[in-house]
Structure 1
């Protein structure tokens, strides 16, 4: 059985580590890698879409990152208890026409005993922004630099 530490029950420190690990993985924009953090039968609600299982997650993320270009994400712990974590997040991306967007959202996560996410509920709102209004400017796909401010520090 594969484990994905940190494992529940979560403490504040382990919940923060879990959130940062998720952020780092999503910032790779690698659907296969990201899907491995979820149970094989994971259930998602993402906006108005309902997904089940890793194959649908990979398909969804592949399409997402084909349309949301130069995607950069920051997540922040909101609350935790036992096997659940709530986060808020913001990501910035642009479409093929060069229009920039800032997307604000909240996620509720539930994990199994091995630390894999079995349930994800995401509510997201999109805000058009200009290129000059961008706040997430680190280079290439990959983790947010350690010295880059978080959401609260940025007033987001």
Structure 2
């Protein structure tokens, strides 16, 4: 069985590390890499979709990133306790017509003892934005630079 430190129970520091690791993985836009952070039978709700398992997660992410182009994400811990973390997030992307969006959301995560995510529940709203209003402009795919402001500093 693989392990994904930091492990629960989480502290403020380890919850922030877990959120940043998730952010970095998602910004890689590598579905197979991202799926490894979840249990084999991880249960997801993403908007109106419900599914379970790493293969379904990777398939979902392939569809997502084929539609959400130039994807860049920032996550921020909202709360944590024991083996659970709540995050808020914002990501920017454009569709195949060049229309830009900023998507705002919240996720509730539950981890197993090995630090793998067993449940993920996400609620997300998309807001159209002008290309000139983008705030996330680091090279993609790739992690957000260490000196790039987070959501609170950006007023999001």
Q: State the TM-score bracket (shorter-chain normalisation).
A: over 0.9
Question: 1:140 deviation in Å?
Answer: 1.9
Match of 1:94 in 2: 94
- C-alpha distance in structure 1 between counterparts of 2:35 and 2:92, whole Å: 21
- C-alpha distance in structure 2 between counterparts of 1:153 and 1:40, whole Å: 36
- C-alpha distance in structure 1 between counterparts of 2:145 and 2:115, whole Å: 25
Match of 1:29 in 2: 29
- SS where residue 44 of structure 1 aligns? strand
Match of 2:5 in 1: 5
- SS where residue 60 of structure 1 aligns? helix
Equivalences for 1:13-92 in 2 at 5 Å?
13-92=13-92
Match of 1:138 in 2: 138
TM-score after normalising by structure 2:
0.99
Question: 1:51 deviation in Å?
Answer: 1.1
Question: 1:124 deviation in Å?
Answer: 0.2
- C-alpha distance in structure 2 between counterparts of 1:140 and 1:118, whole Å: 28
8 A contact 2:69–2:93 mirrored in 1: yes
Q: Map Cα deviations across residues 65-113 of structure 1 (whole Å, 9 max, x no partner).
A: 0000000000000000000000000000000000000000000000000
The runs of at least 4 aligned residues of structure 1 exceeding 3 Å deviation read none
- SS where residue 55 of structure 1 aligns? helix
- C-alpha distance in structure 1 between counterparts of 2:24 and 2:123, whole Å: 20
Aligned residue-pair number:
156
Unaligned runs of 5+ in 2: none
TM-score after normalising by structure 1:
0.99
- C-alpha distance in structure 1 between counterparts of 2:101 and 2:51, whole Å: 24
8 A contact 2:47–2:124 mirrored in 1: yes
